[in-house]
Structure 1
Amino acid sequence: MDNMEEDEIITAVCTIFICAGLHIFRQQRQGKRIWVRPWIQRREEKGAYNALLKEISLEDPISLRNFIRMDMTSFNQLLEMVDPYIRKKDTFMRNSIPPAERLALTLRFLATGDSYSSLQYLYRIPKNTTASIIPETCDAVYNALKDTFLKVPDTKAAWLSIAKDFEEKWDFPNCIGAMDGKHVAVKCPPKSGSTYFNYKNYFSIILIAIVDADYNFLYVDVGTNGRANDSGIFGRSSIKSLLENSENLPDPRPLPGRHVNMPYVIVGDDAFPLKDYLLKPFPNRHMDIEKRVFNYRLSRARRVVENVFGILASRFGFLQRALPLEPDKVTKCVLAACALHNFFRSKSSQVYTPEGSFDNQISSGEWRNESNNFVNMAQQGGNRNTTDARSIRDEFKDYFNTNGQVYWQWDLL
């Protein structure tokens, strides 16, 4: 071994010793790094689920409803359905966070929209862990509930039942749903430019929904960027294909007291195109009394979807602020909220939507007193329509002014 090789070996050894010394020095200055903070380790004893939530459930049911938007019976039913999707395995190093805590954390987030940092101190779950739990649990809630509580009707009998409710509750025959769209506020996604920037001058994704006469979601489409055109969203949606091609829709029938067969229709506003299966109002120009009557009766039937959106934003506070999450994660949260809305309406309606929640002929629902960023789609109008679609709308107009008139419609115009 020559002198040059000896010098290189000595230099390498010295470098190793110097690096090791620096590492020891830094550890001595910074102190020993900890795996989990002590106050987080006490989660099982003092966390919100194991301490506060269980205490509230035994002593104060009303506060429990405000805390997680449901009673404990409904919580346990939901947990049973979601458990297989969110249960994790324990390891030799530590136990996993139980499904009940994961679900309670997610429900609190949906109810309030609190930041992950805020929830970290309430539930004693680190915010980086919370950031993975909430989208995953929202996805699990939607997947667990969608086939039972958020399913598009697939039989003629089911559609006819919806039409019967619209005729009896809203005086609108041959109606199988009310459709509307809303913007869900988000923080500007990185490198997205103006893609998510909407006509209200903030960033959003779009939720389009069809609801029945009893304030339940029948169909939801969520996730399209806020700049998109409403007609384009509807044109690409699966519900459009179903309405145009499904053999499960009821056969046309005359309106009561009339003789011309009319298709079963969805009612919408000016944001959507006029179709054979989709009614929208007459334009606000050259309006005679008969057209005003039609517009009022259609608007009255459409109030059901406005009420559903209002209740949704009122009960799920995350919809009232711009979430600093990626659009796909916000989409999961919205889908979970829609599925939970139907679940609550089915399992605990008096808790979720007590008397006075919805509009009626005399007063407005309590949700209208709460402001939020959950705003309507732009009413653009100008969509091309067919002669058949106009003829169908004219037949409904004639019906509401003759056979189908109600005595109070003239007083309200």
Structure 2
Amino acid sequence: MTPERFSHLLSAVEPYLKIRQDRGRTAISAEERLVITLRYLATGDSMASQTFNFRVGRATVSNIIREICDSIWTALNKKYLRLPSSESEWMTIAEKFENDWNVPHAIGAVDGKHIAIECPKFGGSMYYNYKGFHSTVLMAICDASYSFVWTSIGSYGRDNDSAIFGASSFFKRADFGTLKLPPPSVVGGQQLPYVLLGDDIFPLKTWLIKPYGGNNLTDEEEVANYRTSRGRPTIENTFGVMAARWRIFRRPIRANIETVDQITKAVICLHNYLMQTDNAHYIPSGFVDSWSNAEFKEEEWRSVV
């Protein structure tokens, strides 16, 4: 981020910090606390490394990171991580999907990401996933511009994406019809609803579609799969950009589950904040995947990750 963006972030976070002035020594400033936390999240180095870099006690670094992550979430989530609350807001997302990805009536792409952690104390097998490591699951929906629209944080690594999403508040609201989605409209002579784009593991709903399975597909089914496959990589790219820029996710996080959840929440807010305010620095040209002449082109974030 630019220095100006850092100053703006500091001004947003500082009111939520509680810095105590002790007798005989100067308290660590809000600016240095934010720098310590951002460096920890962006480099993926251990808390012990930050102790040596900033000449601050290890327990102090741990407390600072938890405090700043919590303050970042409090300061940014309501403005930069907000579920659309009206038909017009959902329509804006759908128009962006159609213009950028040639997918009509898409209101987002949904998927889960396993965040690697060290085995929690008394965690047993709850956090051990099918990929062979301990994790907690981030379930998320993104828009066409790689920003998170909705997230669910902290599910057990052993649970599959369908079960996690099915138990979420978003799923229940969508089933009850309280999300204020736009009504179906005509596309190419057919009445089509507004839908999420998911992969094979998710259930088929009137508001969620996934690719047709099997080998003997009709031409119409092949075209439908091609269209949805153009939009679904947005969520993969969103997770990829987040992991490339915030390297804390590149190795197992050594912290208790509550701290891991705080870190994840803070990074999600920082990702959306920078995507929406400092996009040119955060994801320069050629950093995210793209479609060119009906061919999918993998870009820089994949080599970084």
Q: Aligned match of 1:365 in 280, 299, 303?
A: 299
Query: What is the alpha-carbon root mean square deviation over aligned residues?
Result: 1.4
Q: What's the TM-score, normalizing by structure 2?
A: 0.94
Kept in 1, the 8 Å contact 2:42–2:245? The answer is: yes
1:253 counterpart = 2:185: yes
Aligned residue identity for 2:120: P
1:316 counterpart = 2:246: yes
Q: Aligned match of 2:271 in 338, 341, 361?
A: 341
Aligned residue identity for 2:208: L
Q: CA separation of 1:321/1:170 partners in 2, compared to 1, >3 Å: closer, same or farther?
A: same
Shift of 1:242: 2.7
Aligned residue identity for 1:142: W
Q: Deviations over 1:69-111 (max 9, x none)?
A: x111111101011001124121223222111111110000110
Q: Residue 296 of structure 1 aligns to a residue in which SS? A: helix
- Percent of residue pairs bearing the same amino acid type: 40
Aligned residue identity for 2:160: N
In 2, Cα distance between equivalents of 1:183 and 1:105: 25
Structure 1 unmatched runs, 5+: 1-69, 372-413
Q: Deviations over 1:230-285 (max 9, x none)?
A: 22211111111232321522112122x3143x221000111211111111111234
Per the alignment, residue 20 of structure 1 pairs with none
1:281 counterpart = 2:211: yes
Per the alignment, residue 124 of structure 1 pairs with 55
Per the alignment, residue 180 of structure 1 pairs with 111
Higher Cα Rg, which structure: 1
- Higher relative contact order structure (alpha carbons within 8 Å, sequence separation ≥ 6): 2
1:159 counterpart = 2:93: no
Kept in 1, the 8 Å contact 2:111–2:161? The answer is: no
Kept in 2, the 8 Å contact 1:87–1:99? The answer is: no
Q: Residue 28 of structure 2 aligns to a residue in which SS? A: coil
Q: Residue 361 of structure 1 aligns to a residue in which SS? A: strand
In 1, Cα distance between equivalents of 2:214 and 2:239: 25
In 2, Cα distance between equivalents of 1:370 and 1:133: 28
Per the alignment, residue 266 of structure 1 pairs with 196
In 2, Cα distance between equivalents of 1:207 and 1:85: 25
Aligned residue identity for 2:238: V
Shift of 1:293: 2.5
Kept in 2, the 8 Å contact 1:87–1:98? The answer is: no
1:329 counterpart = 2:259: yes
Q: Aligned match of 2:80 in 138, 149, 154?
A: 149
Shift of 1:176: 0.6
Q: Please identify which structure carries the higher strand content.
A: 2
Aligned residue identity for 2:231: A
Q: Residue 232 of structure 2 aligns to a residue in which SS? A: helix
In 2, Cα distance between equivalents of 1:259 and 1:224: 38
Kept in 2, the 8 Å contact 1:160–1:250? The answer is: yes
Kept in 1, the 8 Å contact 2:85–2:179? The answer is: no
1:137 counterpart = 2:68: yes
Superposition pairs of residues 6-405 of structure 1, within 5 angstroms: 70-244=1-175, 245-246=177-178, 248-255=180-187, 257-260=188-191, 262-362=192-292, 363-371=297-305
Aligned residue identity for 1:347: T
What is the number of residues matched between the two proteins?
A: 300
Kept in 2, the 8 Å contact 1:196–1:225? The answer is: yes
Q: Residue 291 of structure 2 aligns to a residue in which SS? A: coil
Shift of 1:323: 0.9
Structure 2 unmatched runs, 5+: none
Q: Residue 191 of structure 1 aligns to a residue in which SS? A: coil
In 1, Cα distance between equivalents of 2:262 and 2:212: 36
In 2, Cα distance between equivalents of 1:134 and 1:149: 21
Q: Which moved more, 1:76-85 or 1:292-301?
A: 292-301
Kept in 2, the 8 Å contact 1:209–1:220? The answer is: yes
Kept in 1, the 8 Å contact 2:109–2:232? The answer is: yes
In 1, Cα distance between equivalents of 2:22 and 2:161: 49
Shift of 1:361: 2.0
Shift of 1:368: 1.0
In 2, Cα distance between equivalents of 1:333 and 1:188: 17
Per the alignment, residue 382 of structure 1 pairs with none
In 2, Cα distance between equivalents of 1:71 and 1:338: 19
